[in-house]
Structure 1
Amino acid sequence: MAESSKEELIQLIKRVGAYLTLKMSNLLSISLRNLDSRSVGALAGLALAVVFTWRLFRSPGARQRRQPKRQAPTTSSSGDNTQLNATAMPTGVCSPLEDLGAQNVVDEFFQPVKPTLGQIVRQKLSEGRKVTCRILGVILEESSPEELQAKQATVKSSVLEVLLEITKFCDLYLMERVLDEDSEKKVILALENAGVFTSGGLVKDKVLFCSTENGRTSFVRQLEPDWHIDTNPEITSQLARFIKYQLHISPVRTERTASNVFSSPSLEQFFGCV
């Protein structure tokens, strides 16, 4: 390789190295939980390979066109030649346009990586492995046992994707207070028709029913989950001392009752799906 090409490559490595350091710092501060070391290393290596390839295999004709044409020296153009020599780029030094081209290539590979729904769920739940969740008002369109008794149960279409994602890595238990056995059958049938049991993460034995609100509280205390999701503020308040994290679902914004209790209008909105 010619001496000038080596010098150009060294200068490019220095500029790209400094730029990658800045981009990596920004990337890691945003997406450290979503990318492992192999992913970051692969992106960095790919970006470097593309930059070097782009730099070394540019068209020679384009480089020649950027070089000013040499003029035969004449007595009348001595002043012009002096000005031309003062403004010409030194050999081996890249122009600002070349630097910008390299920067743009690196930028394309270091755009913020959008996390998947599974990554968001794990991050939001702080890697919790066991979750208990009320059914009415969270999973179903119906919000009370009386409403469930009067008509068929309907699973919210907007919550289904989140629910299935939770079952992939969490031990999920669903629970509800019902007024009769017919209501229990309606809930099981609605969940079955929605495909909740086909993912393998949730089985019918983990859908629990009780006749009182205190019964649901007792279920949660016995299971000792990392997270409990409920719509009843009294239950949320009672469990705050015993459960690591809770999510209170309420369409009306409420005051935070404890540092370990979060709130959201819906389960899907808590995970940014709406």
Structure 2
Amino acid sequence: MASGLAGLCNKLVQLLQTAPRGALSITGILGLALLLGRAPPSSTAPAVAASRHTAPASSPAPSASPAPRASAGASATPLGRAVAAQLAGAKRVTLSLPGVLLAESSPAQLQESASVRPEALEAVREMARVSDVYLVAHVEDDVGEAVVAGALEAAGLLGGGPGQVAPHHVLCCSTLDGKVPIVRQLDPDLHVDGHVVSVDELKRFLPRLLLVREDAGSGGGGSGNVGVAPSLRAFFGA
């Protein structure tokens, strides 16, 4: 390429020497030769242009929302059939842990320990097979929350398998009054509680409630949309 430009310059010089005076513009011809000598090869231009206009990488597609937990279906045991019959049509159930699934009934007790009632645990497992179950606990602070979570994990209740409750479905509140808005926000088809005050607050907003209290008697009871039973297992009659 360089030898070609040199030959072109020589021809231009010869042309200027033999051309009549004034016939050619010396400045214009020499300027043209200079430009031809300095110009970069034209073949590189497309590559430069392409590098400047490279299309940006497409943004990754947003991840899909997790699908709702599928019902595992009732077990073939008498308790499983009883739970399925009682919860027929109940897609979501909320259950207050103290005094129902846990033997302890106060936040102060849950600061020290949390004891899972075996007969209630079996019932909750069956409930989780047919409905979306949320567990609520009134605790004083993070210590109480850790005690409750540890007891549920030790009992094998938390997880993603049949008869288990999703770990993020365990909710804690620091006041008894705080339980009411949590349950109302979840809007369950059935709420189970061991505190009469909470049941009284919620019965205006929910279609069905169960109050678990040991002095209810074997026959249970209740009125309107509130049922009463001495235990969770007794409520299912199995």
Common fold by TM > 0.5: yes
Which residue pairs with 2:108 in the alignment? Answer: 146
Which residue pairs with 1:271 in the alignment? Answer: 236
Which residue pairs with 2:227 in the alignment? Answer: 262
8 A contact 1:122–1:128 mirrored in 2: no
Q: CA 1:162–1:257 in 2, change beyond 3 Å: closer, same or farther?
A: closer
Q: Deviations over 1:167-213 (max 9, x none)?
A: 11111000011112111111111101101024354111100011111
Gapped runs of 5+ residues in structure 2? 1-75
Which residue pairs with 1:236 in the alignment? Answer: 199
Cα shift at 1:142: 1.0
8 A contact 1:217–1:239 mirrored in 2: yes
8 A contact 1:240–1:258 mirrored in 2: no
Normalising by structure 2, report the TM-score.
Answer: 0.62
Which residue pairs with 1:121 in the alignment? Answer: 83
1:220 and 2:169 correspond:
no
8 A contact 2:221–2:229 mirrored in 1: no
**Letter matched to residue 127 of structure 2:** I
Cα shift at 1:261: 0.5
Which residue pairs with 1:174 in the alignment? Answer: 135
Q: Tell me how far apart the structure 1 counterparts of residues 223 and 205 of structure 2 sit (CA, whole Å).
A: 12
Q: CA 1:236–1:256 in 2, change beyond 3 Å: closer, same or farther?
A: farther
Q: Tell me how far apart the structure 1 counterparts of residues 135 and 185 of structure 2 sit (CA, whole Å).
A: 14
Which residue pairs with 1:203 in the alignment? Answer: 166
Q: Tell me how far apart the structure 1 counterparts of residues 78 and 104 of structure 2 sit (CA, whole Å).
A: 29
1:137 and 2:99 correspond:
yes
Q: Tell me how far apart the structure 2 counterparts of residues 129 and 210 of structure 1 sit (CA, whole Å).
A: 23
**Equivalent position SS for 1:197:** coil
Cα shift at 1:127: 2.8
> How well do the aligned residues superpose, as a CA RMSD in angstroms?
2.0
**Letter matched to residue 271 of structure 1:** F
Which residue pairs with 1:191 in the alignment? Answer: 152
8 A contact 1:245–1:260 mirrored in 2: yes
Which residue pairs with 1:32 in the alignment? Answer: none
**Letter matched to residue 150 of structure 2:** L
Normalising by structure 1, report the TM-score.
Answer: 0.54
Q: CA 1:122–1:190 in 2, change beyond 3 Å: closer, same or farther?
A: same
8 A contact 2:91–2:189 mirrored in 1: yes
Q: Tell me how far apart the structure 2 counterparts of residues 165 and 209 of structure 1 sit (CA, whole Å).
A: 22
Higher Rg of the two aligned structures: 2
**Aligned residue-pair number:** 159
Cα shift at 1:214: 1.4
